[in-house]
Structure 1
């Protein structure tokens, strides 16, 4: 390690010294003269090596486990750390620090030993592992430091239940869909891992807007929902059920989603003609007078459609006949009316075919036939009544009491009427016997004659009696002397005067 100059005795360092290997040396030196008999003398040289800060601290990690459970409590020891520095004195005094942003803390124990403990709670779903950096720095001049980085893994625990994207899912399914149709596919997410994230699906209770039962199934692995029946919108408008997602953790966690399935209407129902024109086997006929004006009401067709929305929007049309079309129908209300007056060239019977169509795609329709018969006058018109089935009712006690009451009232009314007539006849025979009975005579020209005793009044009406005004005669006595008769509300005459010649339309009061 050292060398000496033989002439001068100067001791020098022959090789680099290392304080950490040997901190002191003992050198023995011999001095010889050059006489014929050399004489020698000895000396001992002690060399102390002065330490310099030439060694950085060393960090050794002793991990307690490969990973840390995410539900570990605060203060849990994660690892043991040993820090060494070969230098001496202040050069060998080391301080340790840990990088920021980690939920861990270094606690010193017996100088060169440290413990890495948990300072904050862990969440594997946020951070599944941490890269921890430990820095050791000595107090030398200049100071030296070393860094060690190691990874801490966070192990999963089943602390998260499966979650659906939405708590309520609304679905729309066409009616008459075949059995086995895919209704929807539900997917739940679980942020856990491995067995804690393995999800199975199951059905919850099913409720409907009606009492009809619903059969659906769910694939426990994929969450796909299938129908086990065909749905009819007219019977069921919607139904609701729940799907539960359960993970494979211990203990297992689960969550639910509510599924509302709305049945969409399809145009699968034909319009139905309502009575009276829908009677099976009945003859649909209507009579109209020959004098009917344009716009005369003939009949009204009513129909319903079991579908909904645009599929149930009905329109009425008349299938074009072979001859001239004398009738029209309201496209929205189904009222059949005449287009014009009848002529001598028109047929007496007009068969009409009414087509009722819905607004679906494709459109469905129903037809009804009506024979419109033209009659000469309103008096010849006959109304055909369609008899409806009558239920036979049992003759109860209440009906018997009602019949007896009606019979009693009728007898009392009849007796009262007979008594009233007898009293009236008695008064007439006793009080007015001095007057002769009046007499009304009808003449061929359409005039009437009123006679009472020796007086007679001639009254004239038009030949069209339906349009003539009523003539009112005195009820008790004929006009006396001086009484006047008014003709046509104008001139007046006394009873002794001769009345003017009777003309058509003259009114006498």
Structure 2
């Protein structure tokens, strides 16, 4: 009853001491061999946890070497015994047997340290090394002479270890039991009455070792004493107790110390031989003559911090006498054990969006040495987004310190380095591999925000326009991209285009006409397969390229197909007489819309010519009597496309004696007419005056612009004069940039004005001379577009 009260008091004192040391650690005590299901403690109450949350937050013991002995009931929060606990198997003969167990709760992660003291019970009986111990004692030994006995070993500790020895009742011997602090309990036979070999030559005793358990257990050994005659003096050691300190790393064969004993007898009875009679004698050797004790095995402080030898001195006389002494060997710890690192990963891979501060692994560092040699400092050897956080003694948590980005680093090899404080310091390392898993944090990206594509008009339906690709820095499903067209309220691009959702190949669903559509803008969206999906857009501009698919068309009054138009000229017409002017337009652009006029008349006449670019029909010479009165002309207008397209029309020129009787034609603007009316004269004067003023202004601006430069081109700001299909023209004060080119004969040539920026640096500049021939200085690009032609025609009389 007293022993039970003392154990309970010691348990309460231990818990009180550890409470202030670390709030995250709780100590319990449980007896060894406790039945499965025995309650060790109430974790929910002691850790201030809500019992209802234990199940949802997955409260559990962290897997380890000691966790198999215990389990947690999540419904009640009790810590229970789960497996048989044998203190002697776990801790052998250590005075204190402590099992460290870690408990963890999730959401958020939190680690608790449990220290469970395994209490010893009296489940082992004392055992002697031999069943029979034979002693030879001379009959003339003196009363009070002592004979040391072999001690019994009990695997239990404390009060349950060997506490007493007993011997059966006899008249010759008594038992002296010795016990001292930190020493084994030993027993010696004490002679109480002189021996008489003649009365009793052999004495048999029973030695009983009793432990302090409740109820106590015991073990016995037979002692056979052979009573000898003669030798009556025992060897005597110089000291009853020898003490020595030895480093654990001393080499085999090193001398530890020497013992010495003397015998008062003479002759052979005084010669002494030494021997080791204790259980620890396997590590040491003693010279039987000199008494020198040397090391014959390896000392290990972690296994045996202290050793006790019993040295026996025995003389060589008949019925030799013996005596013993004790040698206490203190093994001094040397830093010969490197720290050991044990790692428990809490997750197989770490998501790249995990929050800093999250535990990734649990690290336990141990060192078998003691003192400074067993103090360990743990750190990460190289910079990384992870850090170590000490939780208790040599327990650490590896937690995330910085945000992760899998696209930059997908795997971390973290080297954990542990150094002890010994001299020299020893270290241990462990590499922790942390895999970073992908999350969908990168949207697909096109090579450019705006992508331009060229498509010839009249291209066949279903043609491949381009392969649109995007790049997603994620992997797996997060990098699987699909493509789609974006329809708007103003346009339904899905009716015009089709895109392969997997490959991004863009196809046309119709054939395009440049004259109707010159640019088709729309947007394409790339979306990945992540959760949630991410997307990005690119603007696609499909530029329709012009093809020469439109023939020139004559403008009124010569626009009716199949009709023959009649023009009259006087017989007295001079060379250069204005007959008529035909005009045509082409729906195409650029070179495809650049027109030239040609005339076909009956062979041999060669009376008329036409301005290749102006379309003006004039006489080449005066009429002769041999000329016909009617001249059918076929006018052909051709564009400059590849291949060239053309249109023809017919004009019949009739030669009359006098035009006074004929209705003037609004289409005819004669250059030379002797009998013009006053109205025509005023009209002509007005036209010439306006033209001269405009021409002089234009020449002045060009001269100012081009002065000091090479070539005849400059860029000037001039008013815009636009001709219309019906022959009228309009004047605009808006200022634009033009490129102007003149021929060598300004008074007799036409002026061709190209609106800026046409033509560009590599364009073809065209000058139309009086002979209606083209002078080309550069080449127009095939895709260039002539925005507007302004042709001013001046007819000056000589």
TM-score by length of 1: 0.72
Deviation of 1:360 after TM superposition, in Å, equals 1.0
Deviation of 1:89 after TM superposition, in Å, equals 1.1
1:110 alignment counterpart: 392
Superposition pairs for residues 38-77 of structure 1, below 5 Å?
38-77=320-359
CA contact (8 A) 1:59 1:81 kept: yes
1:378 partnered with 2:659: yes
SS, match of residue 235 in structure 1: coil
CA distance in 2: counterparts of 1:281 and 1:154, whole angstroms? 82
Distance 1:206 1:237, change over 3 A: farther
CA distance in 2: counterparts of 1:15 and 1:50, whole angstroms? 16
2:372 alignment counterpart: 90
CA distance in 2: counterparts of 1:306 and 1:247, whole angstroms? 45
1:33 partnered with 2:315: yes
CA distance in 2: counterparts of 1:207 and 1:355, whole angstroms? 47
1:288 partnered with 2:554: no
Deviation of 1:208 after TM superposition, in Å, equals 7.6
1:333 partnered with 2:624: no
CA distance in 1: counterparts of 2:494 and 2:370, whole angstroms? 88
2:508 alignment counterpart: 227
1:310 alignment counterpart: 591
Deviation of 1:141 after TM superposition, in Å, equals 0.4
Deviates more, 1:57-66 or 1:364-373: 364-373
> Mind listing any 5+ residue stretches in structure 2 that lack a counterpart?
1-282, 668-798
1:79 partnered with 2:361: yes
- Show CA shifts across 1:437-481 (max 9, x none): xxxxxxxxxxxxxxxxxxxxxxxxxxxxxxxxxxxxxxxxxxxxx
Superposition pairs for residues 177-192 of structure 1, below 5 Å?
177-192=459-474
2:197 alignment counterpart: none
CA distance in 1: counterparts of 2:326 and 2:368, whole angstroms? 29
CA distance in 2: counterparts of 1:53 and 1:3, whole angstroms? 26
1:348 partnered with 2:637: no
- Show CA shifts across 1:195-231 (max 9, x none): 222222221115889x999521111111212111111
Pairing partner for 1:242 from 506, 523, 531? 523
- Show CA shifts across 1:241-270 (max 9, x none): 222222222222222222222211111000
TM-score by length of 2: 0.46
Distance 1:204 1:213, change over 3 A: closer
- Show CA shifts across 1:15-71 (max 9, x none): 222222222222222222232332222222121211111111111110000111111
CA contact (8 A) 2:487 2:494 kept: no
CA contact (8 A) 1:174 1:264 kept: yes
SS, match of residue 592 in structure 2: helix
Deviation of 1:284 after TM superposition, in Å, equals 1.6
Pairing partner for 1:144 from 420, 426, 429? 426
1:201 alignment counterpart: 483
> Mind listing any 5+ residue stretches in structure 1 that lack a counterpart?
387-509
Distance 1:270 1:133, change over 3 A: same
Deviation of 1:168 after TM superposition, in Å, equals 2.2
CA contact (8 A) 1:212 1:236 kept: no
CA distance in 2: counterparts of 1:262 and 1:321, whole angstroms? 47
CA contact (8 A) 2:349 2:435 kept: yes
- Higher relative contact order, structure no. (Cα contacts within 8 Å, ≥ 6 residues apart): 1
Deviation of 1:373 after TM superposition, in Å, equals 2.2
Count how many residue pairs are aligned between Structure 1 and Structure 2.
385
1:215 alignment counterpart: 496
1:253 alignment counterpart: 534
CA contact (8 A) 2:485 2:494 kept: no
Distance 1:265 1:231, change over 3 A: same
2:156 alignment counterpart: none
The alignment yields a C-alpha RMSD, in angstroms, of 2.2
CA contact (8 A) 1:288 1:381 kept: no
CA distance in 1: counterparts of 2:493 and 2:583, whole angstroms? 30
1:274 alignment counterpart: 555
